[in-house]
């Protein structure tokens, strides 16, 4: 009888463990995968610092991730409307965004940079005060530009490749992005240069629909990854020192 009871108890426990190990919550996560080294396509799949970071977060929380590759402005709308569970895509928190969505703890701080053509004479923000300048639709760089260049002519486009093409055909004279992204584009194109804007730093965080139950759990993992060096290791993997800078 004792043997039978022990056997039965063990079988019930194993069944519970098996069920628990198989049960994963599915989450839909948006990114704009045209932004190396943060998120981009390589060899038929999405990769990058932010893709690896969220995949590690998902592993910690036993989540299954369905990735959605969206234009940046569509990505923000999808978070606000609850069409996705969250988004990670070099999203900087600001007051306007905080009024319609929630944000995690920051996972990365980014300097702001202007990409220009190497044969131009643009070396600082004031040189561009009367020029057409490009940035992604919906990005906080629109606000940055308005603050730095109140008389500047801002051209917004959905995707970074479109902005780079506009720069090369002189439709715009510069484009604004993060310093790491700028470094990445410049190292792959000998016709481009960039300069960093002093004292302009943005904090990147994961965006959630208001009241998301995921926020607190993910904040706990971000804090853990900061403390144990996981984020630092990923930064060293994907981010290199600038190769060319004015």
Task: Please write the tens of the pLDDT for every residue from 6-46.
Answer: 434 444 444 444 444 557 899 999 999 999 999 999 999 99
CA dihedral of 173, 176, 181, 185, whole degrees rounded to 10 = -10
Percent of the chain with pLDDT over 90: 72
Domain parsing of the chain, residue ranges = 24-107+205-238, 111-202
Which of 5-14, 130-139, 201-210, 230-239 has the weakest average pLDDT? 5-14
**Do the domains at 24-107+205-238 and 111-202 have one common CATH topology?**
yes
pLDDT confidence tier of residue 241, bands split at 50, 70 and 90 = low
Provide the CATH number for the domain formed by 24-107+205-238 in this structure: 3.40.190.10
Residue appearing with tokens 């009024």: 99
**What does the pLDDT average to over 188-197?**
92
Class of domain 111-202: alpha beta
pTM of the model: 0.81
Q: Which residue has the higher pLDDT, 138 or 98?
A: 98
């Amino acid at each position: 009888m004792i043997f039978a009871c022990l056997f039965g108890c063990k079988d019930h426990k194993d069944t519970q463990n098996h069920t628990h190990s198989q049960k994963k919550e599915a989450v839909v996560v948006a990114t704009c995968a045209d932004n190396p080294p943060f998120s981009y396509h390589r060899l038929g799949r999405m990769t990058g610092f932010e893709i690896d970071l969220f995949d590690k977060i998902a592993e910690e929380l036993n989540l299954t991730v369905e990735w959605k590759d969206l234009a940046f402005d569509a990505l923000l709308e999808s978070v606000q409307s609850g069409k996705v569970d969250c988004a990670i895509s070099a999203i900087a928190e600001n007051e306007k965004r905080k009024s319609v969505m929630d944000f995690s703890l920051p996972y990365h701080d980014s300097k702001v940079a202007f990409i220009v053509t190497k044969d131009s004479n643009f070396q600082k923000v004031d040189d561009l005060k009367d020029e057409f300048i490009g940035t992604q639709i919906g990005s906080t760089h629109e606000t940055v530009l308005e603050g730095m260049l109140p008389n500047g002519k801002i051209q917004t486009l959905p995707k970074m490749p479109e902005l780079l093409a506009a720069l090369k055909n002189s439709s715009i004279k510069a484009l604004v992005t993060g310093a790491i992204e700028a470094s990445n584009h410049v190292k792959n194109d000998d016709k481009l240069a960039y300069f960093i804007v002093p004292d302009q730093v943005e904090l990147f965080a994961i965006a959630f629909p208001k009241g998301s139950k995921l926020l607190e759990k993910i904040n706990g993992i971000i804090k853990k990854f900061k403390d144990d060096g996981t984020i630092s290791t990923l930064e060293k993997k994907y981010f290199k020192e600038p190769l060319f800078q004015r």
